[in-house]
Amino acid sequence: MSNTKPNILLVYTGGTIGMLKDFKTGALKAFDFKTLLDKIPELQLLDCNIETVSYEPIDSSNMSPEYWIQIVELIELNYNSCDGFVILHGSDTMSYTASALSFMLENLKKPVIFTGSQLPVGDLRTDAKENLITSIQIAALQKNNEPVIKEVCLYFEYKLYRGNRTTKINAEHFQAFASPNYNELVESGVHLKVNKKYLFKPDENKSLKVHKNLDNNIALIKLFPGITEVVIQSIFSTPNLKAVILETYGAGNCTTVPWFIKLLEKQISKGIHVVNITQCSGGSVMMGHYETSNALKRIGVISGKDITTEAAVSKLMYLLGANISQEMFKTTYEMPLRGEMT
C-alpha cells in the first residue's frame, strides 16, 4: 500500500447490500463479497487504498454479542495499519452493532463507519452504491494527516450519524435511519458538509482500549396499559438476571399501581439494575417531572435520559461486563460515555 493515501479496511458481514434474489423462492440470500465488489467498479476511482475482509455473510437478524467481539478484534488487529474502517452490515440490527462497538472501542481515534442498503447492489435502483462509496470517502477524510471522524458512525441515504444515536425507522424508504436526539455529523450533497461541532472529540492522550466482556443477562420490557403483574414477575424471575430496561411512556412515566412500584423496589433492593428509557423516539426521560415518575426516582431507578433502546441495551451489557461496583453503577450509566446521551 502507498503511504500517501489513507488505508481503509472494508469489512463485509452480510445484509441486503450483498444479497441476490433466489428466483425459485423469491427470497433474498447472501452471495459472495467478490461479486459485490465487481458490481461497483467505481471503488477503484476512490483516492484511498481499500483492503477487504469478508465474513460468512449473515442476515443481521442473526447478529450477536459474540459476533460484535469478532468485529472488534478485527479492528483491533488492523488499528495501527488502517486509517479507517467501513463495515457492511444488514440494516435491521445495524444500530445495535454500531452502539455496541462504540462502547467496546474506548478512546477510538479513527472512523468506524457502518453502512448497508435497502436494495441489493445488483438491483437497478439500488441505494448500495451511494451508501458504500460515500462511506469509504468519509472514512478516508483527513485533515493534517489525521482522520476527521474519530468515532463509530452509521451512514445511510446522504447522512452520517453518530452510530449510538441511531435507530432503524423504516423498512421501505431509502432513508431507513434516524437520529432523533442528535444532529447528523455529515451531510452528503454536492459537497460533503461536515458539522464539526457535533463530532466526538476523544482524549488525544489516551490510547485505544478494547472491551470484550459483555454480559447479556438483561431484559427489556415495553410497558403498555394493562400489562400484568404475572408477566413482569416472570421476567424478573429469570435466572441470572442482572438488569432490566423499562420502556416507559413519554418523559419516563409509568403506572403507579402499588404492585408495580413494590415489585421494582424489591428487585432494586436485591441488586437488580432497572433502567428507565422512553418509548418515544425523540426527547428524554425526566424522572420526577410528573407524579407518575416520582416513585421510580425515589426507589433508585436509573435514568436512561435520551438514549435509544439500541444504545441502552449495549451500554448495559458493556457496563455489566466491566464489573462496575454496585454503588457506582447508576452514576456511571447516567453519564454519557461515548456521546450516546445528552
- Specify whether the CB–CB gap between 288 and 297 falls below 8 A: yes
Angle of helix 258-269 relative to helix 291-298, nearest 10 degrees, comes to 20
Helix segments in 166-321, DSSP class H: 229-236, 258-269, 291-298, 309-321
Angle at the Cα of 225 from the Cα atoms of 219 and 230, rounded to 5 degrees? 55
Whether 115 is a known active-site residue: answer no
Residue of 16, 166, 167, 278 with catalytic role: 16
Quote the DSSP letter at residue 62. G
276 part of the interface to ligand ASP, by CB under 6 A: no
**String of DSSP letters for 131-150:** HHHHHHHHHT-EETTEES--
Grid cell digits, residue 138:
468519509
- Taking CB under 6 A as the criterion, which residues in 227-256 touch ligand ASP? none
- Is there binding between residue 18 and ligand ASP (CB under 6 A)? no
Measure the CA–CA gap between 180 and 142, rounded to whole angstroms.
28
SS3 8: strand
Cell readout for 36 is 459485490
293 is a contact residue toward ligand ASP (CB under 6 A):
no
For ligand ASP, the closer CB: 92 or 310: 92
Instruction: Write out the binding residues for ligand ASP, residues 162-191 only, by CB under 6 A.
Output: none
Nearer to ligand ASP (CB atom), residue 120 or residue 147: 120
- Residue of 6, 65, 111, 116 interacting with ligand ASP (CB under 6 A): 116
Q: Rule CB under 6 A: which of 80-109 touch ligand ASP?
A: 90-92
β-pair partners for 58:
14
Nearer to ligand ASP, 18 or 252 (CB): 18
C-alpha cell at 109: 481515534
Query: Which residues inside 117-146 make contact with ligand ASP, applying CB under 6 A?
Result: 118
Choose which of 60, 97, 303, 308 interacts with ligand ASP (CB under 6 A): 60
For ligand ASP, which is the closer residue by CB, 16 or 303? 16
The span of 33-41, 58-66, 189-197, 288-296 binding ligand ASP (CB under 6 A) equals 58-66
C-alpha cell at 339: 456521546
Looking at the Cβ atoms of 91 and 179, the one nearer to ligand ASP is: 91
List residues with catalytic annotation: 16
The residues of the shown chain that bind ligand ASP, judged by CB under 6 A, are: 14-16, 59-61, 90-92, 116, 118
